[in-house]
Structure 1
Amino acid sequence: MRVGITGHQGLSDLTEMLVRGELWQLVTAFGAYQLVGVGCLAPGPERWFAQAVLDHGGRIEVIVPAGARPDAARSRLLGRATAVHRLAPAAAGGPGDDTCRALVGMVDELIAVWDGRPGSGPARVVEEARRAGLFVQVVWPDGGESPA
């Protein structure tokens, strides 16, 4: 099973704790030995999900936008990825920084850590995934605080 991840960045400490718990439960339910987590390793939910997949014995694949510069945390997870998909720059006819279509095209379903508000990055990915007919599991815990 190939499961993509998208989510809000900059979540409060309380929301982080709640989301991490829900992601851990989802990964456990998937049976991670057969799970391949796919994402860009953006700070927050994407990294938490990747780490949960690895901690459960699953594998991760990473989508790297054109021109992305990895920080130490991303580099550490990149080193554990079974595949790294580097997107070609838009100037060369590639998607550049538009990881949405690449992600949706590589997964069987999507987890979205999303507060349900339109116009955000996660909202755009959810819309694209639903248009492609993917099952979307929205994770937004009771008591979660929307990012500023």
Structure 2
Amino acid sequence: MTRVGITGHQQIPADAIPYIRQQIRITLAELRPPVEGFSSLADGADQLFARILLELGGRLHAVIPSENYESTFDDSSLAQYRKLREEASGIEQLPFEEPDEAAYDAAGRRVVENSDILLAVWDGKPARGRGGTADAVAYARAQHIRVLVIWPAGVDR
């Protein structure tokens, strides 16, 4: 079994999405089955990863950062979040009352701790707040977890 976590930007430029989707699909398809994926189901990279994982027959495990997490989604991403959450094989709800930087940081760490490989849809820049993609990547590297960065050359956020 291969356990893969996802961390990545929520706001992804439209011209980057086809490349990112293709690279996630290629990476997951090359892994030895069964593949278990760990995601917080956030808008952007997390939801792209989760949809592709499920399409390829992988098992999805949701790591929910906090109570009231749904308040962070707009209408379209909320519908996708709820659908993906229903399709998850397992759900871990972290003990935070509100979605904040501490909750996001803890969720990123839990994803890393459950993973053999971390996919990072990341432009390589520092996090814009605690618990961002760069923090999850740094934690994974400190834990000697393999990190695969997916980002198209020449694209800025």
Both structures adopt the same fold (TM-score exceeding 0.5)? yes
Cα shift readout 1:68-90 (whole Å, capped 9, x = no counterpart): 11721101001110000000027
Q: CA RMSD in A?
A: 1.8
**% identical equivalent positions:** 31
- Aligned residue in 2 for 1:2: 3
2:127 aligned residue: 119
**C-alpha distance in 1, partners of 2:26/2:150?**
11
Q: Distance in 2 between matches of 1:109 and 1:125?
A: 12
Structure 1 unaligned runs (5+)? none
Runs in 1 of length 4+ with deviation above 4 angstroms?
A: none
Which of 128, 136, 139 in structure 2 is aligned with 1:128?
139
For 1:79, what is the secondary structure of its paired residue? helix
Aligned residue among 73, 87, 93 for 2:94? 87
CA offsets 1:53-108 (integer angstroms, 9 cap, x no match): 111111100000112117211010011100000000279xxx64431221121111
1:140 and 2:151 are equivalent in the alignment: yes
Is this contact kept in 2: 1:7–1:113, CA < 8 A? yes
Give, in whole Å, the separation in 1 of the partners of 2:125 and 2:111: 21
Structure 2 stretches lacking a partner, 5+ long? none
Q: Does 1:51 align with 2:58?
A: no
Question: How far has the Cα of 1:140 moved from its partner?
Answer: 1.1
Residue 119 of structure 1: CA displacement?
Answer: 2.8
Structure 2: how far apart are the matches of 1:110 and 1:11?
Answer: 18
| Secondary structure at 2:120 match in 1 | strand
In the TM superposition, what are the counterparts of 1:14-33 in structure 2 within 5 Å?
Answer: 14-31=15-32, 33=33
State the alpha-carbon separation in 1 of the partners of residues 97 and 147 from structure 2: 28
- 2:114 maps to 106
TM-score if structure 2 supplies the norm length?
0.83
- Stretch of structure 1 that moved more, 77-86 or 62-71: 62-71
Q: Secondary structure at the match of 2:82?
A: helix
